[in-house]
Every structure is written in structure tokens, then in C-alpha cells.
Amino acid sequence: MADHTGAELHGDESVQITGLSSAGTGRRGDIGFLDGDGKAPVDISSDISALFVNAANVQHVPGHVAYLVTSVPRYAHSAAASAMYQPLHLVWHGSEAISAEASVHEEAIIAPGAVIGPGAVIGEKTVIGANAIIGPGVQIGRNCSIGPGASVYCALLGDHVKLLAGARVGETGFGVMPGPKGAEDAPHYGRVILQDHVTIGANSCIDRGVFDDTIVGERTKIDNLCQIAHNVVLGRSVLVAAFGGISGSVQVGDGAMLGGRVGIADHVKVGEGVSLAASAGLFRDIEPGETWGGTPAKPIRQWMREVAWLQKNANPKKTG
């Protein structure tokens, strides 16, 4: 692996690497990575076997962990992953639309032009729409409906899940990491989990997680043209209206209601039962039960007060 990635090996040279992980979640046999300036505290799994690190992070490597030093640890980790694993959907070819290695329930309904990859599982009475695409290894439960032209990769769907036309589930999320020749797309290894009774609107996108999974809770309903980024966790019975944009690693509590075109910045936590007014742009955590609006978002009464005050003071009396 040192040869393959150009990194310099330190520690036990006989360690066997059998899997990939993040630094914090690795088990015995896994290799992770540490990058950044080395100043922030680092969470490292006590079981992990090896790490790619840059010079600034060598100090954080526990004594029992082998490490490979490189200026681009995440890139090296990704290169190692590519050498160890070949994603199934990149070697899936040929003219067999419904793979002989897929498991399709005899009471499932498959419309013309649908494509189902090897290892996929389609449950009882589930409907796969015309020209929809079910990637290799995807599992779909019972009574689901996958809309025409929709695609599902790297995902696990419960029962009664609906994807409308053109929905994109399980694509790689947006992230850039430094590579030896410039920006590279950060690789993603997680899945998308859509729990029972979830509905995803037309042309909406739910990205797969980086190492962990992106999760959409039971009975959560998402409108058309929404974007749910990697590692997001949406609770149960959340409503997201059209053009909702939920950035990476956001957590939204049960029963929250997001109006049209609401945006939430990455890593923000939204409490249970929160309401966000249409067009709100949220950059900070909200406690359960609050109603906020505006950009940057604030409690809705405050936002309305500011809007009214500005209107009163900025305009001649007659329009005030």
C-alpha cells in the first residue's frame, strides 16, 4: 500500500489491511486517515490498524497503530480504496436489463425499460417504473413505487416507500479533497436509508453518506427538486417543501416542517417540531418547537418585526 500511494510507512510492517474506514470508526484490519492542521482534537478508534497521516498529524497517531505519511492523506486513502475495491456499478455492463443475479419478487411489477442490477432485491408488490434504474445490491421492500426514470444506488429502502419520477437516490455527495494535481472529488462509502412510508419528490436528490449513512425517517415526505446532502439524518414525519436544501451532516428532529426553498447550513441541528418559513436560510441550531424565518433565519416574530420596522422607517409616511 505504501508503494501504491507513495506514502512512507511507519510502525508494524506486517499489519494486514482488510478494510477502509474513517479514523474514528475503524475496526481491526481497517485503515483510516488524518488530515488538517493537527491542532484540533482527533477522535481515533482504539481498534483501527493503520492510518494515512500528514506531517502535522503524526503526533496524534496512537503507539499501536501503523501509519503512512503523505501530504495528501485523504487522497491516498481513496487511492487505496480504489485498489482494494471496484464499485459494482462501475463494472456493470452488457445488455441484460434485469440481471439474472437480481432477486425480484414474483408479485413485483416491472415496467418496460427498467434496469435492475446484480444483487438487487425487489419486494412483494413493489412497482418499478418505466426506464427506472435499480443499482447493484440495492434492497427495496414491499409495496414501494419507484417512479419512471428514477435511479437508486447504494441504498436500502423499507416498505411503502415512494420515489417520484427522476428522483436520484444514492449518488456521491459534493466534497472536494486536495490531490497531488489539484482538487479531487471526495469518495463516498456510505449508503442511503429510506425508512417505511418515505416519499421523495420528482427530480429530488438524496446523496449517500461519506462513511456513515444518510437516513430519512419513517413517513418523512420530501417534495420535488429538493437536495438532501451526505450524512444528513432526517427524523420521522418531517415535511420538506420544494427546493428544500439540507447541507451535509444536518440533523432534523421528528415532525419538523420546512417551507419552500428553505436552506440549512452544514452540521446544523434542528429540534423536533420546528417550523421554518418559506425562503428561510438557517445557519445555526434551533431548539425544539421554534418557528423561524428570514435569511439569516431568526425567530419569526423578530423577523416580521424587522421587516415591518424597516418598511415603516425607510419609506415616506403614506406607505409606512
* Binds its own copies by CB under 8 A, chosen from 25, 139, 224, 291: 224
Interaction residues for its own copies, span 261-290 (CB under 8 A): 261, 263, 265, 278-279, 281, 283
Query: How many Å is the Cα radius of gyration of the chain?
Result: 23
Footprint of its own copies on residues 73-132 (CB under 8 A)? 89-97, 109-113, 115, 117, 127, 129-131
Q: Could you tell me which residues come within 8 angstroms of residue 208 by beta carbon, excluding any fewer than 6 positions away?
A: 153, 154, 155, 170, 171, 172, 173, 188, 190, 191, 192, 214, 230
By CB under 8 A, which span of 36-44, 62-70, 147-155, 267-275 interacts with its own copies?
A: 147-155
Q: Which residues pair with 245 in a beta bridge?
A: 227, 263
The answer to the question of residue 10 lying near its own copies (CB under 8 A) is no
Q: 68: which 3 cell numbers?
A: 503512512
Determine whether 230 is an active site residue: yes
Measured from the CB of residue 6, what is the shortest distance to its own copies in angstroms? 19
Which residue intervals of 25-72 are DSSP H helices? none
**Residue 245 within binding range of its own copies, rule CB under 8 A:** yes
Task: Tell me how far, at minimum, the Cβ of 133 lies from its own copies, in Å.
Answer: 4
- Whole-number minimum distance, CB 246 to its own copies, in Å? 9
Question: What are the two backbone dihedrals, phi and then psi, of residue 85, each rounded to the nearest 5 degrees?
Answer: -125, 145
CB of 89 to its own copies, least distance (A): 7
Residue ranges in 150-209 that form contacts with its own copies under rule CB under 8 A: 150-151, 153, 162, 164-166, 168, 171-172, 174, 176, 182-185, 197, 199, 201-203, 205, 207
Residues 18-37 contacting its own copies, CB under 8 A: none
Residues contacting 257, CB < 8 A, separation 6+: 238, 239, 274, 275, 276
Number of chain positions touching its own copies (CB under 8 A): 87
Q: Which three cell numbers stand for residue 134?
A: 435499480
Closest listed residue to residue 8, CA positions, set 65, 55, 59: 55
Catalytic residue set: 230
